[in-house]
Amino acid sequence: MRLKTSLLAACALFGVGHAQAQQSTAPTVAGQAPATAQPAATTVQTIPGMPPVVDPANIYSEASGPDKMSPAVAGQLNRVYVPNLRGNSVSVIDPSTFKVVDTFPVGRSPQHVVPSWDLKTLWTTNNSEERTDGSLTPIDPMTGKPGKAVPVDDPYNMYFTPDGQNAIVVAEAHHRLDFRDPHTMALKGSVEAPRCAGINHAAFSADGRYALFTCEFGRYLAKVDTVNRQLLGMLKLSKGGMPQDVLAAPDGHKFYVADMHADGVFIIDGDQFKETGFIPTGLGTHGLYPSRDAKLLYVANRGSHMIHGPRHSKGSVAVVDFATDKVLKTWPIPGGGSPDMGNVSADGSMLWLSGRFDDEVYAINTQTGAVKKIRVGYEPHGLTVWPQPGRYSIGHTGIMH
C-alpha cells in the first residue's frame, strides 16, 4: 500500500526550513564525549527536513493532548490494535466499549503495530519464525482493515527517522538496521551491528542526529548515526543483561533503558554515551511510555525474567517522576499479569498494555491505577492506541513528537 502524502507537503505543513547545524561523523567510544558536543541553547538545531522542536525542554510538547491532533488523522477510527504473536492476527478493540470488534489474520509472528511517520498507515511487523521471509502488513486507520502485505526481511520492529525520509526496519536476527523508503519499503541501505545481539528497541535524540538501540541478548546499547548511517559505538550496561525498551527523556538528551533482568531502568547520557544512574521499578522491567504532559514515565514490569514467562505473574506498572527519577507509586495487576507494550490514550486518561503471557490487554486508569482486562488472541505484544496527538510518529507503538 503506497502512501500519497509527500515529504515536501509534510515539511511545508510543519514549517521546516530553519538553519541546520553541521553533523559530526566521528565515531564515539563508550564513556567519551562525541567530537562535537551539543551546546546549551534555546533552540534545537535539527537535521534537515525534521519538524522543529517547539519546546527544547519537552520534545513531546506537540503530543500533549487531543487539542494537538494532526489534520492527517481526521476521520480515523478510534481503536486499539493488538498484534497477537502466536495467533498470527491483530485484534481490534473499541476503547469506548472495551470490546474486541474485529480480528484479522496478518503474517506470521506479528510483533508490533507501528504508526507511519505521516500518520496515514499502521504497519504490522511480522518477522516470522525463519526470520528471512517476514512482511509488513499495512492497516488503513480510516477503516481498520488490513491491506496487502509487503515482503521485508525480518521486521521485528520499525522506526522512522525524524525527517520522515527513512523507515528503519529492525532486523533483529541479523543484527542489522535496514533503512527503507517509508512508503514503498524499498531498501536504501543498512547498518550492521554484529555485537548487538537481539537489536530491537530505539529512541532518538532531540535533534534527530542519533538513536540508541537496545541489544536484548547482549547487555549492550548501540549508538547509531541516523544521518550518515553509521554505528557510532557500543555501551555495556553495568548489570542486568536483558535491555528492552528505551525512551528519550523530555529533553531528548537523557535516555531511560528498561532491563528485564535488572528489574529497573538505567539512566543514560545519550550525548556522552555513558550510564549515569539506575531506578529499581519491579520484576521484569520491559516497556516505557511518557504521560501526555511528559511529567511521568510509565514503566511496565512484566513480572518475570523469562522470555516465555508464566501466566498470572507479579506484573505491575511503576510511575516515575521525570523531574526526580523517583518511583511515585506502583500499580499491581490484580490477580497477576504480564504487562508488556502499549501506549496511552489521546487524552492521557488510560494506559493500554498487552498482557503478553495471559492473552489479554490491560486498560489502566492513570489517575487511580484501576485495571480493566480484555481477552484477545494468543500472546499479544506491541499494541498501539490510535489515533494519537502529535505531528509525526517515530515508530514503535506510536512514539509521537
3-class secondary structure, 388 = coil
pTM of the model: 0.89
Which grid cell sits at 54? Answer: 517547539
The Cα-based distances of 399 to 59, 128, 159, 316 in angstroms read: 11, 24, 9, 21
- Report the DSSP beta bridge partners of residue 190: 178
Structural domains in the chain? 50-386 (2.130.10.10)
One digit per residue, the tens of pLDDT, for the chain of length 401 reads 333 333 333 333 333 333 333 333 333 333 333 333 344 446 899 999 999 999 999 999 999 999 999 999 999 999 999 999 999 999 999 999 999 999 999 999 999 999 999 999 999 999 976 666 799 999 999 999 999 999 999 999 999 999 999 999 999 999 999 999 999 999 999 999 999 999 999 999 999 999 999 999 989 999 999 999 999 999 999 999 999 999 999 999 999 999 999 999 999 999 999 999 999 999 999 999 999 999 999 999 999 999 888 999 999 999 999 999 999 999 999 999 999 999 999 999 999 999 999 999 999 999 999 999 999 999 999 999 999 999 999 999 999 99
Q: Comparing C-alpha atoms, which of 114, 133, 115 is closest to residue 173?
A: 133
Determine contact, residues 139/91, Cβ cutoff 8 Å.
no
Q: Which residues have C-beta within 8 Å of that of residue 368, sequence separation ≥ 6?
A: none
Cis before 387 (ω within 30)? yes
Q: Alpha-carbon distance 210 to 177, whole Å?
A: 13
Show Cβ contacts of residue 5 under 8 Å, excluding neighbours closer than 6 positions: 72, 118, 120
Provide the pLDDT for residue 309: 85
Across 260-295, the runs of DSSP E, i.e. the strands, are 264-269, 274-280, 285-290
pLDDT at position 43, please?
Answer: 87
State residue 308's pLDDT score: 85
pLDDT of residue 2: 33
Alpha carbons 105 and 83: distance in angstroms, whole number:
10
CB 136, CB 153: distance < 8 Å:
no
Largest CA distance in the chain: 54
Return phi, psi of residue 368, to 5°.
-110, -20
